[in-house]
């Protein structure tokens, strides 16, 4: 038997639960190749005795590893590390060729019609956010010695306490272990996306994105001179076979991915595909920009840990945001990456925004330290899950076979495909029913879109979904084929 007590080091003073420390350690050893794929794991009682923990802790760790796709149970044989996991060979990360100049992006004019009733493409409900507490904390921070030091400092890397507390938060919630030197605070995730590609991409460089992708990320890439190489989206996210074909015949500089819930289709990239993607990045020498825009909202099980948590060679630039926990108008995003990338991106950020928002950033740091953000998230997750269930139930009951969708295990929106309706026509029909659809159109599909549920309370879900169904029925040739 492997020396499990030496392999798995536990720290009972850490905020991250012990069972997650166990699963994190096993994942880390798999990535390093010290635990082989197909390995039969010891029984829960045996491993519990070796680690001197309760057996329930090991059962929880095993459940977590199976939920994330690292382990499987083979009937009558036992619990095994998945034999289907790819192997990743580590190699030294070469010198990165980073562009030292950035271009000003072309402003976009995205007009949104307004109505009394609104369904968006997946935004949070600001009514559930701890805004009052944040502003109260900000007022408290602004007074006295702390306020003076915060107001007078240089903060283009982000307020120091927030960077420090965020590093702890990422370690506890995402198993991403680094320090404040690995973190840059930005004005929302969009700034982080732009800075990442401005750093990585020279004019003419090729960047892989999904055929269906976050429009603002595409615009950021093209704004710095990058050329988009689009690959299809499958039920597992980015098509790995298509990516491999591209990197074999072209020199790819970077890849943009939303693996937790692919934007816009909401599908989750399994662990095997994540490992294969990392292996391709190493073999063909490209960076991965991981946009984890809604990691905190998961309903059925624990979320699969980010790519950045299993990155062994600093290939990942990880991007997140607090704007979906607070409100979109409070622009606090962040980038986690190798410290050299953070330093370069911080210097770029200084050219456009030297100070950031240090008072709000320090207030957020206090909320993180006091677990107020975690408490707020737990309440929001419960509310959003109920809204998701009602929204999906009403769509299926009201439209029967006319729509196709999978109930998302997380996030704030549903990817809905209509059999007989174009989205552009639906937007116009909804407007006639006094329903405003704040949704994007995609050139690669004219009959599918994201429909958000999180920003509506249960009463609004019922009312707005009824208006949506009425707008859809108006477009159908045989209304009586649907239940009303």
Residues 6+ away with beta carbon under 8 Å from 191? 331, 333, 349, 353
Mean pLDDT for the stretch of residues 406-413: 93
Contact indicator for 125, 454 with CB cutoff of 8 Å: yes
Residue pLDDT, tens place only, 77-118: 888 888 888 765 543 333 333 333 333 233 333 333 344 699
Per DSSP, 417 falls in state E
Alpha-carbon gap, residue 155 to 424, rounded angstroms: 44
Confidence of residue 153 (pLDDT cuts 50, 70, 90): low
Give DSSP secondary structure letters for 151-170.
HHS--TT--HHHHHHHHHHH
Q: Residue 89: name the closest of 283, 247, 274 by CA.
A: 283
β strands within 393-467, DSSP E: 403-404, 413-418, 435-438, 448-452
The length of the chain in residues reads 484
Q: How confident is the model at residue 145 (pLDDT cuts 50, 70, 90)?
A: low
Residues 62-74: pLDDT tens digits? 888 888 888 888 8
**Where is average pLDDT lowest: 218-222, 338-342, 378-382?**
378-382
Supply φ then ψ for residue 19, to 5 degrees.
Answer: -65, -35
Positive or negative torsion for Cα 124, 125, 126, 131: negative
Higher pLDDT: 194 or 445? It is: 194
Q: Where in the chain is the domain with CATH 3.90.1150.10?
A: 374-481
Calculate helix-pair angle for 160-174, 358-369, nearest 10 degrees.
40
Give the residue-averaged pLDDT of 235-253: 96
Rounded distance, CA 476 to CA 331, Å? Answer: 41
Q: Exposed, middle or buried: residue 320 (CB in 10 Å: 0-12, 13-18, 19+)?
A: buried
Q: Which of 7-11, 100-104, 358-362, 395-399 has the lowest mean pLDDT?
A: 100-104
Which CATH class name applies to 132-370?
A: alpha beta
Query: Distance (Å, rounded) from C-alpha 177 to C-alpha 358?
Result: 24
Within the chain, all domains assigned CATH 1.10.10.10 are found at 4-81
Identify whether the C-beta of residue 53 lies closer than 8 Å to the C-beta of residue 46: no
Single out the residue of 61, 410, 336 nearest to residue 171, CA to CA. 336
Q: For residues 263 and 293, is the Cβ–Cβ distance under 8 A?
A: yes
Selection from 434, 352, 364, 313 nearest residue 130 by Cα = 364
Provide the CA 450 distance to its chain's centre, in angstroms.
16
**299 and 381 Cβ atoms separated by less than 8 Å:** yes
Please count the CA atoms within 13 angstroms of the CA of 193 that sit on its side-chain side.
25
More confident residue, 483 or 71: 71
Task: Copy the structure tokens of residue 199.
Answer: 């750093």
Domain with CATH 3.40.640.10 in the chain: 132-370
Is residue 207 within 8 A of residue 341, CB to CB? The reply is no
- Tell me the two tokens of residue 307: 């790519």
β-strands 448-452, 413-418 pairing:
antiparallel
Beta strand 403-404 with 333-336 is: unpaired
Cα separation, 186 vs 215, in Å, equals 19
Using 50, 70 and 90 to split pLDDT, how confident is the model at 184?
Answer: very high
What average pLDDT is seen over the chain? 86
The upper half-sphere exposure of residue 279, i.e. CA atoms within 13 Å in the direction of its Cβ, equals 16
3-state helix, strand, coil in the chain (%, to 5): 45, 15, 40
Which segments within 292-444 are labelled E, that is strand? 316-321, 333-336, 403-404, 413-418, 435-438
Which of 56-65, 197-206, 456-465 shows the lowest per-residue confidence on average (mean pLDDT)? 56-65
Helix (H) or strand (E) holding 56: helix 55-67
Least confident piece of the model among 30-44, 208-222, 460-474: 30-44
Does domain 4-81 sit in CATH 1.10.10.10? yes
pLDDT at 356: 78
| Confidence at residue 102, expressed as pLDDT on a 0 to 100 scale | 36
Fold held by 374-481: 3.90.1150
Gap between the Cα atoms of 38 and 47, Å rounded: 18
Confidence of residue 438 (pLDDT cuts 50, 70, 90): very high
């Amino acid at each position: 038997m492997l020396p499990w007590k030496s392999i798995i080091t536990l720290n009972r003073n850490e905020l991250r639960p012990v069972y997650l420390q166990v699963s994190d350690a096993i994942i880390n050893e798999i990535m390093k190749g010290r635990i082989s794929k197909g390995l039969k794991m010891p029984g829960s009682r045996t491993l519990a005795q070796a680690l001197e923990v309760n057996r329930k802790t090991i059962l929880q760790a095993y459940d977590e590893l199976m939920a994330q796709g690292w382990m499987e149970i083979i009937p009558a044989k036992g619990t095994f590390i998945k034999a289907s996991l790819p192997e990743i060979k580590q190699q030294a990360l070469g010198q990165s060729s980073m562009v030292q100049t950035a271009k000003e992006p072309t402003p976009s004019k995205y007009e949104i019609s307004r109505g009394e009733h609104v369904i968006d493409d997946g935004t949070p409900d600001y009514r559930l956010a701890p805004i009052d507490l944040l502003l109260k904390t900000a007022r408290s921070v602004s007074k006295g010695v702390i306020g003076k030091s915060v107001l007078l400092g240089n903060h283009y890397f982000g307020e120091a306490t927030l960077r420090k507390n965020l590093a702890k938060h990422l370690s506890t919630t995402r198993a991403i272990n680094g320090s404040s030197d690995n973190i840059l605070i930005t004005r929302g995730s969009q700034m982080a996306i732009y800075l990442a590609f401005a750093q990585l991409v020279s004019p003419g460089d090729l960047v892989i994105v999904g055929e269906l992708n976050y429009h603002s990320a595409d615009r950021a890439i093209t704004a710095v001179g990058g050329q988009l190489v689009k690959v299809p989206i499958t039920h597992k996210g980015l098509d790995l076979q298509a990516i491999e074909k591209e990197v074999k015949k072209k020199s790819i500089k970077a890849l943009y991915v939303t693996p937790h819930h692919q934007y816009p289709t909401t599908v989750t990239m399994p662990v095997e595909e994540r490992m294969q993607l990392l292996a391709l990045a190493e073999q063909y020498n490209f960076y991965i920009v991981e946009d984890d825009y809604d990691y905190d909202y998961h309903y059925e099980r624990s979320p699969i840990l980010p790519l950045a948590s299993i990155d062994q060679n600093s290939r990942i630039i990880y991007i997140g945001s607090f704007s979906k926990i607070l409100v979109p108008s409070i622009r606090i995003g962040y980038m986690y990456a190798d410290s050299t990338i953070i330093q370069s991106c911080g210097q770029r950020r200084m050219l456009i925004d030297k100070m950031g928002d240090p008072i709000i950033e320090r207030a957020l740091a206090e909320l993180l330290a006091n677990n107020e953000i975690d408490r707020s998230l737990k309440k929001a997750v419960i509310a959003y899950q109920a809204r998701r269930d009602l929204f999906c139930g009403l769509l299926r009951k009201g439209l029967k076979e006319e729509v196709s969708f999978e109930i998302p295990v997380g996030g704030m929106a549903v990817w809905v495909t209509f059999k007989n309706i174009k989205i552009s026509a639906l937007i116009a029909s909804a407007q006639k029913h006094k329903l405003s659809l704040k949704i994007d159109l995609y050139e690669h599909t004219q009959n599918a879109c994201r429909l958000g549920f999180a920003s509506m309370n249960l009463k609004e879900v019922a009312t707005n979904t009824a208006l949506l169904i009425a707008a859809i029925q108006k477009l159908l040739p045989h209304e009586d084929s649907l239940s009303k």
